[in-house]
């Protein structure tokens, strides 16, 4: 493969936003989605970055993502809101949910927004880190289509449910845990296929439900730590999808008409730290905790002990200056999308 081209983040964002406006989105909403995707690229989460642009545009074209959704507040208390997202682009609904959750947290200490019937929420760390920058503990998880093996099954039964938790940390750079409930992500399976790199045992099943290490055959991720990963994913379905009367797993697995339509449900929770602990004290104690762990002996003498999100933050710091490395296949894909629309490209 030829080496990737470096493109400044701001130019990519303007370009991607214009593509979404061209597809029918309002400029501010298009900016929100573009920002979330570019953030993921900056953090090195390529699987949730610009590779999603064509997928989103395709969903918009088919009406699976509505470009002009009608948000409705279905329930609202001082502490909880249910936001009907009407198949909105995920980032737009999640962004609004964060703002509402924080408003409630500022008022009563804690705020939860349950987001109903949204679409691909993307890298959840983008939302939790924004809340943490505002002095919150930010928590988000999503329920999605069952593409991961249920523990003990030779078929997919639950989603690779993502969970993110972020807390305020020094220099305004939150500590962000961004994980999923699979032993491996769908994106990692895709990468393994591209590079034809064998998988470790216990990570994936083939399309027939047999365990495999062959990257060309691996299709279904296995759950993290067996019953823990699939149990957590199942509980997210109960807490988000069932509580909001928008079941995903049962409709999908029972082949109900429309049951395989792409959709997600999510929780966005904010806790206002300063209500319970002075924020500077929280950050000092976090630094002390990190320092106490960093001084532990490492298993690999050359290795370092990384905090949640530390690798992503280093990547961000590098890419925000140097630009985002765009592999040729992505350049080609996005160029074609732009050409078909008579738009200019930023490379």
Q: Between residue 142 and residue 181, which ones bind a copy of itself under the rule CB under 8 A? A: 150-155, 157-158, 165, 167, 175, 177, 179
Q: 198-217: which residues touch a copy of itself (CB under 8 A)?
A: 209, 211
By beta-carbon proximity to a copy of itself, the closer residue of 284 and 318 is 284
- In this structure, what is the dihedral angle of CA atoms 271, 283, 37, 112, given to the nearest 10 degrees? 0
Tokens of 171: 């220099």
Q: In the bound complex, what is the minimum distance in angstroms from residue 143's beta carbon to a copy of itself? A: 11
By beta-carbon proximity to a copy of itself, the closer residue of 21 and 260 is 260
CA angle 165, 138, 167 (to 5 degrees): 70
C-alpha span between 325 and 51 (Å, rounded): 12
Total residues interacting with a copy of itself, rule: CB under 8 A: 78
Is 247 near a copy of itself (CB under 8 A)?
yes
Is 72 near a copy of itself (CB under 8 A)?
no
Which helix (H) or strand (E) segment holds residue 291: the answer is helix 279-294
- Looking at the chain, how many residues does it have? 347
- State which of residues 99, 147, 243, 315 lies at the interface with a copy of itself (CB under 8 A): 243
Q: 28-67: which residues touch a copy of itself (CB under 8 A)?
A: none
Is 250 near a copy of itself (CB under 8 A)?
yes
Q: How far is CA 187 from the centre of its chain?
A: 12
The span of 105-113, 191-199, 212-220, 333-341 binding a copy of itself (CB under 8 A) equals 105-113
Q: In the bound complex, what is the minimum distance in angstroms from residue 15's beta carbon to a copy of itself? A: 33
Q: In the bound complex, what is the minimum distance in angstroms from residue 71's beta carbon to a copy of itself? A: 17
Short-list 224, 223, 221, 226, CA closest to 209? 221
Q: In the bound complex, what is the minimum distance in angstroms from residue 302's beta carbon to a copy of itself? A: 11
- State which of residues 170, 198, 201, 227 lies at the interface with a copy of itself (CB under 8 A): 227
Tokens of 79: 């502490």
By beta-carbon proximity to a copy of itself, the closer residue of 137 and 330 is 137
By beta-carbon proximity to a copy of itself, the closer residue of 176 and 330 is 176
Q: In the bound complex, what is the minimum distance in angstroms from residue 24's beta carbon to a copy of itself? A: 31
C-alpha span between 15 and 330 (Å, rounded): 14
- Contact at 8 Å (CB) between 181 and 234? no
- State which of residues 245, 317, 320, 328 lies at the interface with a copy of itself (CB under 8 A): 245
Question: Interhelix angle for 9-22 vs 328-340, to 10°?
Answer: 40
- State which of residues 271, 324, 326, 330 lies at the interface with a copy of itself (CB under 8 A): 271
- Indicate the SS3 state at residue 201: coil
Q: Which residues contact 315 (CB under 8 A, 6 or more apart)?
A: 42, 43, 44
Radius of gyration of the chain (CA): 20
Please return the burial class of 20, using the count of CB atoms within 10 Å of its CB with bins 0-12, 13-18 and 19+.
buried
Binding mask 279-318 for a copy of itself (x = CB under 8 A): --xx--xx-xx-xxx-xxxxxx--xxxxxx----------
Q: In the bound complex, what is the minimum distance in angstroms from residue 301's beta carbon to a copy of itself? A: 10
């Amino acid at each position: 493969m030829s080496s990737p081209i470096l493109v400044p983040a701001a130019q990519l964002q303007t370009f991607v936003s214009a593509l979404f406006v061209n597809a029918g989105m309002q400029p501010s909403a298009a900016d929100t989605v573009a920002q979330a995707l570019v953030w993921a690229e900056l953090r090195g989460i390529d699987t949730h970055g610009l590779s999603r642009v064509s997928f989103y545009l395709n969903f918009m074209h088919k009406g699976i993502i509505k470009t002009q959704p009608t948000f409705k507040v279905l329930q609202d208390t001082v502490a909880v809101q249910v936001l009907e997202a009407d198949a909105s682009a995920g980032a737009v609904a999640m962004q609004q949910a964060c703002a509402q959750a924080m408003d409630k947290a500022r008022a009563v200490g804690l705020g939860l927004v349950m987001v109903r019937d949204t679409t691909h929420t993307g890298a959840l760390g983008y939302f939790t880190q924004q809340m943490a920058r505002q002095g919150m503990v930010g928590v988000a998880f999503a329920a999605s289509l069952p593409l991961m093996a249920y523990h003990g099954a030779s078929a997919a039964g639950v989603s690779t449910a993502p969970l993110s938790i972020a807390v305020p940390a020094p220099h305004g750079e939150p500590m962000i845990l961004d994980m999923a409930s699979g032993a491996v992500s769908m994106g990692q399976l895709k990468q393994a296929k591209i590079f034809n790199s064998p998988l470790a045992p216990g990570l994936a099943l083939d399309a027939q439900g047999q365990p495999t290490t062959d990257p060309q055959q691996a299709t279904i991720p296995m759950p993290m730590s067996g019953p823990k990963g699939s149990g957590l994913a199942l509980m997210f379905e109960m807490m988000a999808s069932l509580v909001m009367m928008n079941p995903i797993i049962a409709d999908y697995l029972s082949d109900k008409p429309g049951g395989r339509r792409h959709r997600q449900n999510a929780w966005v929770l904010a806790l206002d730290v300063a209500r319970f602990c002075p924020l500077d004290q929280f950050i000092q104690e976090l630094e002390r905790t990190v320092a106490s762990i960093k001084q532990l002996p490492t298993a690999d003498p050359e290795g370092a002990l990384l905090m949640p999100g530390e690798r992503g933050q280093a990547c961000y710091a590098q890419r925000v200056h140097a630009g985002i490395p765009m592999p040729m296949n992505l350049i080609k894909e996005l160029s074609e999308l732009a050409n078909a629309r008579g738009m200019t490209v930023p490379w």
